[in-house]
Structures are given as C-alpha cells and as structure tokens.
Amino acid sequence: MPLWEVFIRNRSGMPHKHCGSVHAPDAAMALQAARDVYTRRGESVSLWVVPSSAITASDPADKDEMFEPTGTKIYRHPTFYKVPDDVGHM
Amino acid sequence: MSLFPFVLGLADDALILGHRLSEWSGKAPMLEEDIALSNLALDLIGQARLYYQYAGEIEGKGRSEDDLAYLRDEYAYTNLLLVEQQNGDFAATMVRQLLYSAFMLPYLQAMQQSRDTRLAEIAAKAVKEMAYHVRHASEWVIRLGDGTEESHQRVQTALDDLWMYTGEMFHVSDDERALVAQGVAADRAAIKPAWDSTINRVLREATLQRPKDGWMQTGGRTREHTEHLGRLLAEMQVVHRAHPGVTW
C-alpha cells in the first residue's frame, strides 16, 4: 500500500511541518489516516499529505559533498553583525 | 413516556456500538485503521457517557453513568439490534457504521433543535463526530465495493445481512411520539429521506446493490435482543462486576 508523508499546521499562520507518514490506498484515505493517527490531541488546524514517492531526497552517501563544505564557512552565520538596539527582535 | 427511557436508548446505542468498535483495537487490518476505529469508538463512548449522566439525573435514584453501563443486564438494555451485531469482517464493520452514522448524522442535526437544552447540547457536540463517521465509513464502503471481486462480495454480503436491522432505526414508539410532539425528541421516521439519500449515493458509487426492504427485525428497544448482546455485555461488564466500585 502506498506511503504518504504527513504535514501538520498546528496554528494558523505557522508553516506545515512534517510529522510522519501513513499507509493509505489513495489521497482521500491518506488524509483520513493522517487525521486519525496524528491529530488525536488537538495538534492540527490543517493537514497535508504528499505521496512519499513524490519526494526527491538527498543520498546519505553524498553528505560530504552536499553538506560538509558549509562547515568551514562560519561567516555565513549572522553572528558578525552588531544589531542596533533599536531593531529589537530580529 | 418519561424522558428517562428515551435518553437511555440513545446512551445504549452509543455505548454498544462504541464497545463493538473497541473490539478492533490491536487487531484491525492496518495500524492506521486500528487507530481510526479506536477514535470512532471513543467518540461513541464519550457520547454514551453524556447521555448516561443525564439519564441518571433524570431518574433521580442516584445511579451513576457506571451503574447504568455496567450493572444492567441484557434485558435492561434498549439499544437498537443493529449496533449489537458482531463485527464480522472489516467490510461488515464498515457497513454497520455507515448504516448507523448515515441515520445519526441527520438525527443529531434535528436533535440540536430539541427543546430539552441538555439534549440539544449533546447533539451539538456529537454531530461533528458523526459527520466524520459517515465520511470514514462511506469512503471505505465505496473502496471495498468498487475494489476487488472479493472485497465487493464481502461488503455486499454484509449489506444484505445487516439490512433487516435498519428498519428499527426509523420506528417511533407511541411513547416516543409524545416526546416528538413536545419538541423534545426528533422524529425518527422523518429522517428516512436523508438516510436514503446518503445510502443510495454511497451504494451507487460503490457499485453495490441496495437490498430490497423485506422483513425488518425489531426488538432492541423493547429489550428483546439477538444472541450477541449478552456475550458483549459479559465481556464489557466483567471487571466492574468482579471489583464493584473499583477506580483507577
């Protein structure tokens, strides 16, 4: 049976976040399964289900070339700037 | 008719069907459906609690919801025969759920206008739950009916077997008619067109044959049950009866 990735929005205005997966024969049933499995405690105001097969994932074997190069580029972190007090939350 | 037996009947329907669904816990066809069935069961048991609490208050003899659920025998239960029928296979469980919820959704919608504010409030809560029951059961019946040869056969057989228990849902006793006249109870008979419409739509999409309206078996409301209720109650009540008043 096809696998579906489940995304939950737990409050209006917040993004949908991945929370897990369900098995279901089609999209309508996947939505019901997601509702029944992941929203039993009032976690959700909106649900997405996406066929797992529609997701293109990075290969764990490629992690050195994919992600390692960023490790030495700490200047990309916004820690070298002085934020003026007036700016407040950033 | 006093209000007590009317409310008790609604409570018994919800509890017995809720218990039946809970029998699937841990052994449904797939994990997702296992949780879904438990959710449906908990909706119904929650509704039963509200009705039993109210029934106990109406009766005024100090009986609690637990007393009414766990310390009444088969001959004191007044649930519809439909809801006490065994789970059978998954198709039979879904057909039973469809037949019941397709009735209860419009019935609860009507009960929201009850002149009894307590019953109207319970209906307002339950109606949202029941809308999901209709949706879930419908989608499964459609997929099983329009699925494989075997799933089609199983769901058609379940429909044929359970059909004779559907007539009881629309039966208004003389006592209940008085409550209908007072605006307290919704008229069960008037729910039939809405039920027909839902059932016909689902069966058409499911490529299933609607059974002919033949002999309709009744008796649940008058405490004449099928052989299945006694065994259900024995299992449901054994802990409470073995340990009276136990809490945890």
**DSSP of A5-42:** EEEEE-STTSPPEEEEEEE-SSHHHHHHHHHHHH-TTS
Tell if the CB–CB gap between B32 and A23 is shorter than 8 Å: yes
Quote the CA–CA distance of B159 and B94 in Å, as a whole number: 10
Q: Residue B208 — pLDDT band, cuts 50, 70, 90?
A: very high
Tens digit of pLDDT for each residue in B11-57? 999 999 999 999 999 999 999 999 999 999 999 999 999 999 999 99
| The total number of structural domains that make up chain B | 1
Of A24, A26, A28, the CB nearest to B32: A24
Residues of chain A under the 50 pLDDT cut: none
| This prediction's pTM | 0.91
A58: left (phi over 0), alpha (psi -120 to 50) or beta: beta
Place of tokens 């049976």: A1
Residue B248 domain flag = no
Say if the ipTM goes beyond 0.90.
no
Tell if the CB–CB gap between A37 and B35 is shorter than 8 Å: yes
CATH number for the domain spanning B111: value is: 1.20.1260.10
Q: CA angle, corner A24, sides to A23 and A29, nearest 5?
A: 140
Query: What percent of chain A stands above pLDDT 70?
Result: 98
Q: Residue B246 — pLDDT band, cuts 50, 70, 90?
A: confident
Asked whether the beta carbons of A32 and A25 are under 8 A apart, the reply is no
Asked whether the beta carbons of B101 and B134 are under 8 A apart, the reply is yes
The pLDDT of B209-230, averaged and rounded, is 96
Residue B216 domain flag = no
Residue B94's domain comprises 3-210+223-242
